[in-house]
């Protein structure tokens, strides 16, 4: 039995190919994100009013926002921002904004008391129009070469989420670390 397993592994290594083509690492490495400020050990944030789950992907940051209070809260999209790894602040659009309206004022999202809303945000300048079609540039590009790893591994980005609670504005700032593994 041991010989069969060893032979199978050897054949796989020889004929299946264990190495990526020279200079290419596509599909071998992926982005992993962690919330480092405030540090929670998860991709969740919680305070007296909100519980937020973050799920960044290549094009956007997915959010599940739960209002824990007995009063409605308002998410102020026009004041929200994505700050990239170079420290450049970008306007973001939320899920309810059409691409063609990316530069127009956005309607705040109301979250009813003791309820949740699923949203996403992306930098508005990553959205562009070409040949009768809207396209989105990724926030985190595809990892193709070894230099891509060194450009993105251990970088950070921030997301600022302003909300209005009981008539008072509160700016939540979240910092994430990007790992390439």
Tens of pLDDT along 122-171?
Answer: 999 999 999 889 999 999 988 888 888 889 999 999 999 999 998 899 99
Distance between the two ends of the chain, CA-based, in angstroms? Answer: 34
Taking the model in full, what pTM does it have? 0.82
CATH number of the domain bearing residue 120: 2.60.40
- Per the structure, how many domains does the chain have? 1
Residue 8 resides in a domain: no
Q: Residue 176: which of 78, 62, 59, 35 has the closest Cα? A: 35
Residue 14 resides in a domain: no
Residue 109 resides in a domain: yes
- 54, 46 Cβ separation under 8 angstroms: no
DSSP code for 39: B
Q: How far apart are CA 40 and CA 73, in angstroms?
A: 23
Q: How far apart are CA 62 and CA 120, in angstroms?
A: 4
Residue 100 token pair: 């063609």
Q: Residue 104: which of 133, 77, 130 has the closest Cα? A: 77
Residue 7 resides in a domain: no
Q: What is the pLDDT of residues 71-96, one digit of tens each?
A: 999 999 999 999 999 999 999 999 98
């Amino acid at each position: 039995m041991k010989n069969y397993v060893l032979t199978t592994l050897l054949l796989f290594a020889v004929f299946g190919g264990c190495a990526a083509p020279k200079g290419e690492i596509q599909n071998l490495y992926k982005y992993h994100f962690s919330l480092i400020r405030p540090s929670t050990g998860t991709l969740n944030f919680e305070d007296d009013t909100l519980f937020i789950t973050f799920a960044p992907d290549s094009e956007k940051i997915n959010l599940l926002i739960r209002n824990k209070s007995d009063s409605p809260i308002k998410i102020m999209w026009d004041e929200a921002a994505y700050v990239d790894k170079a420290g450049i602040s970008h306007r973001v659009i939320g899920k309810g904004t059409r691409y063609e309206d990316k530069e127009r004022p956005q309607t705040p999202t109301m979250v009813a008391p003791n309820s949740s809303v699923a949203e996403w945000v992306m930098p508005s300048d990553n959205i562009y129009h070409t040949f009768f079609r809207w396209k989105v540039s990724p926030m985190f590009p595809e990892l193709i070469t070894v230099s891509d790893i060194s450009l993105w591994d251990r970088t950070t980005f921030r997301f600022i989420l302003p909300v209005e609670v009981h008539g008072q504005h509160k700016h939540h700032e979240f910092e994430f670390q990007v790992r390439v593994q």
